[in-house]
Structure 1
């Protein structure tokens, strides 16, 4: 099982630079988000905007409803600003954290390790080389603030 996952990850790492120029929000990311995340992050009457979610995070978390990620603009708020890095922290596979634990939404990227690795590679390609980082806009606890250089690496092709 681990060898199979390593093979998938190795293939994804080789394909990532070639894939990066071709990955777009409309063609790749929107369908992926719709398929994997819409159950809790869709634009329904129950899905809050990021601002609404922040006002009553406990209520929405208890109801298993997250902030909307149904549009390019809504997704950018979870990537670049104001909730910088939230998207990456939630979807990280654990390879970027000191404790090696995946983010709380990583398992939602697919039904098995291979599908999760494939979808994560697509997202990382869309973000751009070096665009994947878990930093916040401002330092909070052990999580550093994002740098201008890190933000400039985001590609996020529409």
Structure 2
């Protein structure tokens, strides 16, 4: 089992550079968001991120998250103003500053570890090499603010 995970990770590492140029929101990310996230993040009552922040407790109790069904919704959660929120929620616990802890929505990327890892690889390729950061726009605790260099690495091809 461990060998299969290592072999799969090695294949992803080799394929990721080729994959990165081809991953787009329309072809890859939107269908993934629809399949895995729409139930809670594209429901008729799903709020914008701004609405979500106004009454987080209400939406969390209803198990409804901020919208993720448009390109613009995701840019808000990745780049600005909710910098890094997308990555913090979907991270597999291997990113710097994760403390080895997976994001609270990582489980939603698939039914198996292999499926989740493959989907995460696609998302990381879409975000761009070096663009997957858990940092926010402003420093918080031990996590520094996102740098201009990190922000410049975001690709997010439509």
Q: Indicate whether the TM-score tops 0.5.
A: yes
Partner of 1:138: 138
Verify: 1:113 aligned to 2:113, yes or no. yes
**Is the 8 Å Cα contact of residues 98 and 134 (structure 2) preserved in structure 1?**
no
Aligned-residue Cα RMSD (Å) equals 1.0
Greater RCO, CA 8 A, separation 6+: 1
Partner of 2:9: 9
Question: What are the Cα deviations for residues 6-63 of structure 1, in whole angstroms up to 9, with x where unaligned?
Answer: 2222111110000101000000000011111111100x33100000000001111111
2:6, 2:67 → 1: CA distance?
A: 33
Partner of 2:78: 79
1:142, 1:73 → 2: CA distance?
A: 29
Aligned length: 157
Partner of 1:35: 35
Using structure 1 for the length normalisation, give the TM-score. Answer: 0.96
Partner of 1:124: 124
Change (3 A) 1:64 1:149: same
Which segments of 5 or more consecutive residues in structure 1 lack a partner in the other structure?
A: none
1:129, 1:10 → 2: CA distance?
A: 16
Moved over 6 A (4+): none
Using structure 2 for the length normalisation, give the TM-score. Answer: 0.96
